[in-house]
Amino acid sequence: MPVAPTSIPGRPAAFAPQASARQRLTIRARGFWLGLAGSALLAASPGVAWSAGEQAALDPEIAAAIDAAGKTPGKTATGAYLAGLHAQRQHQYGIAADFILEALTADPDEATLRMRAFQLLVSEGRTVEAAGLAKGIAVDNPGAGLANLALTVDAIGRGDTAAAQAFLERMPDGGINRLVVPLIRAWIQAEAGRVDAALAALEPLRQQAALKTVIALQSALILDRAGRADDAAARYKLADQGGAGNLRLARLHINFLLRQGNFAGAEDVARRFAEATGEPELLAGENAQIAARKPGTPPMVGDSKAGLAEALFDVATAANQPQSRDLALIVTRLTLSLNPDHTLARMLLADLLEDYDRYDAARQAYLDIGTDSPFHWSARLRAASALDKLERTDEAVGELSRLVEERKDRPEAALRLGDILRARSRFPDAVAAYDTGLGRIERIEPRHWSAIYSRGIALERSKIWDRAEADFLKALELQPDQPYVLNYLAYSWVDRGLNLERSLGMLRKAVELRPEDGYIVDSLGWVMYRMGRFDEATEQLERAVELRPLDPVINDHLGDAYWRTGRRQEARVQWQRALTLKPEPDQVAPIEAKLSRGLDAAAKPANGG
């Protein structure tokens, strides 16, 4: 069955269109070495999850859990603990921290409560309160990694490098600390004016080849701040070689070159960034400074606090993976405690909040991005999209429509509007939005395949097949062998009785590329069915049901295949199962007819999906 890039009734989502650098931003682009973070480096992840948005009152489940224990929040420590624990499990972490703190006041020596409260506080950005708890945690457990990290960052923020050094030395050696400790140690040395010692502190990181760019950039920032311009220039250049297309790196490098009066060098960095990303507008501010040819640009990293914020941001991007996202949230909050104006960290924060379904908080984080930031436009787009995720779709559509009109030179708002309308099954409106967005792109490039594919889906669902087919073919021209486009186009052909042999080859390729995708396996089985190759079809459709057992269309298809291979009773079981899985309304009657009269006597065969 075709796989839509977002949830469409009867065509479940298994693919999100490839986002542009603007859409997903470059918050992950500073993770030059994310592969490193997938194993032992992240073993120190705190293991506490935070998601969903804060609420002013307890939800009924929390209240019920407390009532079951015979306790009332705010009156007993046990009640407060139960409320906080259940709030955390229900992803209502704003109130969870307050209830756990309330419980802690009744039992201030309870280490587990203190650690839970600490993690909740720091992850919510309440770093001053968290530091107070961290002191007690560190007394009980001098080697507590996160507590000492928070205390180190707090001390640096207060300018107390001696205390920071003391806390740093108590941090354990394993896990993420193998990255964190050398970076912090380097900036403590830099703050003391010991530049060579700062560079030496980064040396342990050379054991990981993937950290070459990180070492080069951090060295460049340290040397730059120390006034060693020639050495800094060499390190910036080395970092640039390993971070092509990285916005933060490009901005830092250009900032340095402008301060040196090297306008030609700055132009070259901006040009190479534009070539790598196709989005020169992300450096609009820098390009204006280059064109003005005016020296005196202030440094982006003016002190050690800002330098350490850059280092911690690198740690946060490394940790931003499913198994360590909690750690990423904590380190991002610590980054912002040192540099509240770190726009990329704020974007990463919003991204993490979205990952945890905290769309209200994420939207506010996006709206906090200032007009002077190169991310301001992207942040506004994502803030609008957050409204849709909050089920405030009409508001999202209205906000994006205003953005479409506000920037008639930009395609992103219209394309994002098309995505939302398509996901809400407003297919003709989605086509119009996609037409507007794609019409604003001067030159279609391979990276635009997903927008064309998405319009093709909206066109196909609007029953405008000729245009839909053209879009699918164009998407394949831009991205040959893209499995989801191969699947959607081939299935659509099969459903219309067209190009069966070509569709079979396309679907074999798609299954080769995505063997665990039940929808694509279903499509392969269905083309075999339509070609009369029922035994082969049954084998593929059984595999598809194994992969996607709760899909009504796939179960319906398998029932048809069973019928054609003489397995009549099994066919009826599959059709009955398909009905229990809530198929689309137009699929119900054909399935019921097959159950009543059999496939041959039914009014029509299984709806193609």
pLDDT at 421 over 60: yes
The whole-angstrom separation of Cα 286 and Cα 284 is 6
Place of tokens 């948005």: 53
Q: Which residues have a Cβ under 8 Å from the Cβ of 463 and sit 6 or more positions away?
A: none
User: In sequence order, what are the residues at sequence separation of 6 or more whose Cβ sits closer than 8 angstroms to the Cβ of residue 218?
Assistant: 183, 186, 202, 307, 310, 311, 314
Same domain flag for 287 and 225? yes
With H, G, I as helix, E, B as strand and everything else as coil, classify residue 72.
Answer: coil
Per-residue pLDDT band for 3 (boundaries 50, 70, 90) equals low
Report the 10 Å Cβ neighbour count for 308.
29
User: Residue 2: inside a domain, yes or no?
Assistant: no
Confidence band (pLDDT; 50, 70, 90) for 589?
Answer: very high
| Residue 141 in tokens | 């457990």
Radius of gyration of the chain (CA): 28
Residue 136 is predicted with a pLDDT of 86
pLDDT of 2: 66
Contacts of 578 (CB under 8 A, 6+ apart): 552, 553, 555, 556, 559, 587, 591
Residues 332 and 466 in one domain: no
Q: Using CA of residue 212, residue 216, residue 222, residue 223, what is the dihedral sign?
A: positive
pLDDT at position 524, please? 97
Please report whether residue 39 resides in a domain: no
Of the candidates 374, 393, 418, which is a domain's last residue?
374
Mean pLDDT on 349-369:
92
- Each residue's pLDDT tens digit, 300-314: 998 889 999 999 998
The predicted model gives 277-296 an average pLDDT of 86
Quick one: pLDDT band at residue 358, thresholds 50, 70, 90? Answer: confident
pLDDT above 70 as % of the chain = 86
Give the C-alpha separation, 255 to 191, whole Å: 21
DSSP string, 313-352: HHHHHHH-SGGGHHHHHHHHHHHHHH-TT-HHHHHHHHHH
Residue 354 sits in the same domain as residue 286: yes
- CATH code for position 279: 1.25.40
Q: Which of 574, 559, 513, 542 is nearest to 14 (CA)?
A: 513
Structure tokens at 456: 């093709």
- Do 588 and 503 sit in the same domain of this protein? yes
Structural tokens at position 370: 């200032």
Kindly indicate the confidence band of residue 605, based on its pLDDT and cuts at 50, 70 and 90: very low
Residue that wins the pLDDT comparison between 38 and 458: 458
11 bridge partner residues: 8
Which of these ranges, 49-63, 351-365, 450-464, 498-512, has the smallest mean pLDDT?
A: 49-63
Distance CA 421, CA 260 (A): 49
Q: pLDDT tens digits for 116-148?
A: 888 888 888 888 888 888 888 888 888 888 888
Partners of 8 in the β-ladder = 11
* Residues 539/526, Cβ–Cβ less than 8 Å: no
Range of the domain at 472: 10-25+381-478
Mean pLDDT: which of 7-16, 104-113, 505-514 is highest? Answer: 505-514
Q: How many domains does the chain have?
A: 4
Q: What is the pLDDT of residues 170-223, one digit of tens each?
A: 888 777 888 889 999 999 999 999 999 999 999 998 888 788 888 999 999 999
**231 with 302, same domain?**
yes
Same domain, 101 and 57: yes
Of 168, 195, 225, at which residue does a domain stop?
168
Terminal Cα distance for the chain, rounded:
6
Instruction: Identify whether residues 191 and 275 lie together within a single domain.
Output: yes
Measured between alpha carbons, how far is 190 from 304 in angstroms, rounded to an integer? 7
Of the pLDDT bands very low, low, confident and very high (cuts 50, 70, 90), residue 279 is confident
pLDDT score recorded for residue 321? 87
CATH code, domain carrying 539: 1.25.40.10
- Which residues, including other chains, have CB under 8 Å from residue 473's CB and lie 6 or more apart? 489
Question: Is 430 part of any domain?
Answer: yes
SS3 content of the chain, % helix, strand, coil (to 5): 70, 0, 30
Q: Which of 35-49, 230-244, 445-459, 484-498 has the lowest mean pLDDT?
A: 35-49
Average pLDDT, the chain: 85
Helix (H, G, I), strand (E, B) or coil at 391: coil
Do 195 and 302 have their domain in common? Answer: yes
* pLDDT one-digit tens code per residue, 315-334: 898 888 888 888 899 999 99
Separation CA 124–CA 183 (nearest Å): 24
Which one, of 145, 237, 155, 219, lies nearest residue 183 by Cα? Answer: 219
Same domain as 284, residue 176: yes
Q: Is the pLDDT of residue 244 over 80?
A: no
For residues 227 and 270, membership in a common domain is answered with yes
Specify whether 526 is located in the same domain as 402.
Answer: no
Mean pLDDT, rounded, for 445-451:
94
- pLDDT, residue 63, reads 56
DSSP annotation of 170 reads: T
pLDDT at residue 456 tops 50: yes
pLDDT tens profile 22-78: 333 333 333 333 333 333 333 333 333 222 333 333 455 555 554 554 445 445 778
Same domain, 150 and 209: no
What is the Cα–Cα distance from 556 to 333, expressed in whole angstroms?
49
In the predicted structure, residue 21 carries a pLDDT above the cut 70: no
Residue 94 has pLDDT above 80, yes or no: no
Structure tokens at 577: 């199962």
Tokens representing 414?
């219209």
Q: Is residue 182 situated within a structural domain?
A: yes
Q: 4 in a domain, yes or no?
A: no
pLDDT in tens, 489-537: 999 999 899 999 999 999 999 999 999 999 999 999 999 999 999 999 9
> pTM (2 decimals)?
0.81
Q: Of the candidates 318, 353, 374, which is a domain's last residue?
A: 374
Q: Is residue 288 part of a domain?
A: yes
Predicted local confidence at residue 44, as pLDDT: 36
Predicted local distance difference test score (pLDDT) of residue 393 = 96
What is the mean pLDDT of the segment spanning 16-24? 34
Distance CA 76, CA 82 (A): 10
Amino acid at 510: A
Task: Give the closest residue to 219 by CA, choosing from 273, 246, 164, 182.
Answer: 182
- The answer to whether the beta carbons of residues 410 and 377 sit under 8 Å apart is yes
Instruction: Say if 33 falls within a structural domain.
Output: no
Query: For residue 468, is it within any domain?
Result: yes
Question: Are residues 253 and 239 in contact, defined by beta-carbon separation less than 8 angstroms?
Answer: yes
Check if the beta carbon of residue 308 is closer than 8 Å to that of residue 164: no
Share of the chain above pLDDT 90, in %: 58
